[in-house]
Amino acid sequence: MPSPSPDSAPVPLEHREQGLRFWSLPDEAAALREVLRGAPLIVGFGEYHQKKGSARAASALQRFAGPLLRELAPRASDLIVETWVTEGRCGENEREVARQVEVTTQRPAATENEVVRLLKQAKGLGVQPHVLTVSCKDYQRLLGAGEVDYEKLLGLITRQLELETQRVWLARQRAADSAAAAKKAAPRLCAILLYNDTLHNDRFPPVKELRPFSYATALDKLSGARYVEVDLYVPEYIAGDADLAKQSWFPIFRRHVSTKRLLLIERGERSFILIFRKSPASAPRSRA
């Protein structure tokens, strides 16, 4: 007799396999209850980027801007997104960096619109959105001999995400101090959210060479060890990823991915992986 599928026989609410704790959960609210259990003050969300030609399924960016952000909004003050606006002020250097990055990342044209929708959605929910700032000197340094230096680009993005978070953190602290000095009720303690790829938010980089490209240690210190990392994965995008297949959590994904439930895997202390529901259209059909 074949074993039941994850859809017909959901995994118990909390389970252990591969030495890891994980949950099979009915919705985003349930997942966030586990992620936010320790009342973090900074939450770094990392997405597995959608690329051109990838499976047809809603991106992590789309899904984050929906139920996840609506659930997070009452607990969050600010959202810092890994993107910047090209304004044309920096001439050919700016244009060339933008062109090369677009070719290399292979992200669908719709992604830019999704980022704009995310920023608007956040503002509409009362969460102040922020983007990064790239100067003309930054563009010049990135190009070097005419080709984008992607190691420098990763370093720049990491620093900008860290600096913007520090700026927002200090602004919120000043607002709280001003309220206290005026003997007013202090502003509610809310989380700062970041949205970027799965490299920059990593609490436990797999190799030491990647450590300089993660802001996690700095922001963990800033928040007094109240930083949480959450990686977001769309099942259809990661199913054939050979590098991810080597990770200890991947067999859990293989066995328990579902069209009806989300998977939340605790990879380490204050480090989670959230795997969205599989699209019904991509689920294998049962034979008669």
The pLDDT of residue 233 is above 80? yes
| Predicted local distance difference test score (pLDDT) of residue 134 | 92
Q: What's residue 287's pLDDT?
A: 40
Judge whether 229 and 216 are in contact, CB under 8 Å. yes
User: In this predicted model, which residue has the larger pLDDT, 178 or 20?
Assistant: 20
| pTM score, whole prediction | 0.89
> What pLDDT, on a 0 to 100 scale, did the predictor assign at position 1?
41
* DSSP element (H, E) containing 131: strand 128-132
- The share of the chain scoring above pLDDT 70, in percent, equals 87
Query: In the numeric block, which tokens belong to residue 145?
Result: 């001999």
Confidence at 286, pLDDT banded by 50, 70, 90: very low
Q: Is residue 139 within 8 Å of residue 90, measured between CB atoms?
A: yes
- Mean pLDDT score of the chain: 88
Tens of pLDDT along 9-67?
Answer: 555 578 999 899 999 999 999 999 999 999 999 999 999 977 655 567 889 999 999 99
Tally of helices (H runs) and strands (E runs) in the chain: 10, 9
Lowest average pLDDT, out of 38-47, 181-190, 216-225, goes to 181-190
Of 107 and 62, the one with more pLDDT: 62
Q: Which two tokens stand for residue 99?
A: 């062109």
- pLDDT of residue 277 exceeding 80, the answer is yes
Burial-class residue 18 by CB neighbours within 10 Å (0-12, 13-18, 19+).
middle
Q: How many residues does the chain have?
A: 288
Q: Minimal CA–CA distance to 270: which of 204, 193, 192, 197?
A: 204
